[in-house]
Structure 1
Amino acid sequence: MFTKEELIKLINDADAVVIGAGAGLSSAAGFEYGGKTFMDNFKYMYDEYGYQDMYSAGFHDFDTEEEKWAYWSKMIYLNRYKFGAKDLYKRLLKLVLNKDYFVITTNVDHQFQLAGFDKTRLFYMQGDYGLFQCSKPCSKETYDNKEYVLKMVEQIKDNKIPSSLIPKCPKCGRVMTTNLRCDDTFVEDIGWHNAKHRYDEFILKNKDKKILFLELGVGFSTPVWIKYPFMQMTYQNKNAKYICIDYSNPYVPNEIKNQSYSVKDNIEKYI
């Protein structure tokens, strides 16, 4: 069985560490999209529409913008602003703090930065709950939304917000939306492109070195961003190591088994 001591040794021996993080990491840290959290905050979405978790409810075709933003403002608040950094993320930082590291993540909850990870070593490639964009992008700009979100949450009544609080694009006046990759309208702003460039440069700089790819809680819903590239880069570099820790499906292909560790267990147990 793969042990915590082996994980620490692999990190210490590596020239560079790349953390690839998916939803499973935040789940292990204590974020809950369904269950009690959902029922405590969105029971009406279950009673009226049958939804049982925040992710599914987010795809609901709301009748009005007032109802839509009552839901989304509270959802963003719960997953982006209500809590500080989770302890699991703080412990993960301690493991790599003295290493040459980089993080690529599909998570949009900002936990890495809240925990103290260097923001120049982070690539949030699926967006950020903390940003709005124009719903029909008239520019490649995004906008910090904390002030918007807090005002909306404070004034929710009967599962609606006042019409005056519906967020509008400052350039064209259209209703804004969340900066989350869900279709081809996702805005990749200058911050996104700068982060991608830094990530690409990091990978290039370390491509033949003893690089450790540490994949945490990445499933198969969007494997093309983290999982498959990590496997491919491990295959192309005999000095690389690949660790996949995931409670559901820590798959490792035969081609890199001798360079890999597959751990089907709770991430919390190892970090």
Structure 2
Amino acid sequence: MFLKKKMKKSTKDYSEQINDIVKKLEKADAVLIGIGAGLSASAGLTYYGERFDNYFSDFKEKYGIEDMYSGGFYPFATKEEYWAWWSRHIFINRYEAPVGQPYIDLLDIVKHKDYFILSTNVDHQVQKAGFDKKRLFYTQGDYGLMQCSVPCHYTNYDNKDLIYQMVESEKEMKIPSNLIPTCPRCGAPMTNNLRIDNRFVEDEGWHKAQKRYSEFLEENSKKAIIYLELGVGMNTPGIIKYPFMQMTYANPKATFITLNQETFKYPDELSKQLIQLDGDIGKNLQAIRQRIESKSISN
């Protein structure tokens, strides 16, 4: 049913939409937050354009790589080149990048609610912002973790010290051979803990987070819950976008609130339960936070 009918865009003005979102948040029993790449892009962690050129102009010139996303799939000839790329990529997006203001504003918005976060991002911005780690399920991995590439076992390893060593030692887009990581058990090459194929390691921490997410859904799916979608596109709609739509439709008390840079078309069946706010996600979250704060002061 979600692909047959399309709903018309809301005719309400911006201020009315902000008010509607704030009212829904005030009355909600729980908030499930789905975070996609658009939220980090709004926070300044863009993978293309000026930021890409500032950090990867040498890779662009030598290999013809045009953005950080496609660079992650480039078939480098050697592990020295592979880890030169990835150590730099991880360093600037996981360790060097400060927490973005949109994440700080989001925490201010939901900190007094019963919330849970489902994220497809791997940049650690949620943790840096100070959200409760037990209220987070990052399904697609973490730039701060490595795993066996086979994998011969299901354990992930912290990579911070090694990434710093690689970045500091890199020369001419290569790292020293002695820094290439190998599995401590089978000796195979290590790789990033990112879900790019069926070898992705779901370790004990991943499964505990998944269990907490399932328990949150079981407890709140029939209540007055908000499904708050932030920066979720169509790369992996089966993780956040489609489930949020389906769970909203199944529960008359639920509201689906989506903030995105672009406008998506949603089915008429969701029209009474959906608030779509397009444009800059960071500015929209700031407006919601400010409206909540102004109401609190006036009360």
| Range class of TM-score, shorter chain | over 0.9
Q: Which residue of 1 aligns with 2:75?
A: 61
Q: Give unpaired runs (5+ residues) of structure 1.
A: none
Deviation at 1:193, TM superposition (A): 0.7
Residue 26 of structure 1 pairs with residue 40 of structure 2: yes
> Given that residues 250 and 263 in structure 1 are in contact (C-alpha distance below 8 angstroms), is that contact kept between their aligned partners in structure 2?
no
Residue 258 of structure 1 pairs with residue 265 of structure 2: no
Residue 135 of structure 1 pairs with residue 149 of structure 2: yes
> Given that residues 244 and 250 in structure 1 are in contact (C-alpha distance below 8 angstroms), is that contact kept between their aligned partners in structure 2?
no
> Given that residues 244 and 251 in structure 1 are in contact (C-alpha distance below 8 angstroms), is that contact kept between their aligned partners in structure 2?
no
Letter in 1 for 2:52: F
Letter in 2 for 1:173: G
Paired residue for 2:260, among 235, 240, 246?
A: 246
> Given that residues 108 and 124 in structure 1 are in contact (C-alpha distance below 8 angstroms), is that contact kept between their aligned partners in structure 2?
yes
Deviation at 1:4, TM superposition (A): 2.6
Quick one: distance in 2 between partners of 1:252 and 1:13? 24
Letter in 2 for 1:200: S
Letter in 2 for 1:256: L
Quick one: distance in 1 between partners of 2:166 and 2:20? 47
Paired residue for 1:155, among 146, 169, 181?
A: 169
Aligned Cα RMSD in Å?
1.0
The two structures have a TM-score, normalised by structure 2, of 0.89
Q: Deviations over 1:95-131 (max 9, x none)?
A: 0000000000100001111100000000000100000
Which runs of structure 2 are paired with 1:1-271 in the superposition (5 Å)?
1-2=13-14, 3-271=17-285
Quick one: distance in 2 between partners of 1:187 and 1:58? 18
Quick one: distance in 2 between partners of 1:180 and 1:213? 25
The structure whose Rg is larger is 2
> Given that residues 85 and 173 in structure 2 are in contact (C-alpha distance below 8 angstroms), is that contact kept between their aligned partners in structure 1?
yes
Quick one: distance in 1 between partners of 2:189 and 2:151? 10
Quick one: distance in 2 between partners of 1:93 and 1:4? 17
Q: Deviations over 1:147-197 (max 9, x none)?
A: 110110010001100000001111111110000000011011111111011
Letter in 1 for 2:73: F
The two structures have a TM-score, normalised by structure 1, of 0.98
The list of structure 1 runs, each at least 4 consecutive aligned residues, that deviate by more than 6 angstroms after superposition, is none
Q: Give unpaired runs (5+ residues) of structure 2.
A: 1-12, 286-299
> SS in structure 1 opposite 2:22?
helix
Greater RCO (Cα-Cα under 8 Å, separation 6 or more): 2
Deviates more, 1:169-178 or 1:2-11: 2-11
> Given that residues 251 and 262 in structure 1 are in contact (C-alpha distance below 8 angstroms), is that contact kept between their aligned partners in structure 2?
no
Deviation at 1:252, TM superposition (A): 2.1
Letter in 2 for 1:9: K
Q: Deviations over 1:211-250 (max 9, x none)?
A: 0000010001100000000000001000000011111233
Percent identical among aligned pairs is 51
Count of residues in Structure 1 that have an aligned counterpart in Structure 2: 271
Letter in 2 for 1:13: K
> Given that residues 120 and 195 in structure 1 are in contact (C-alpha distance below 8 angstroms), is that contact kept between their aligned partners in structure 2?
yes
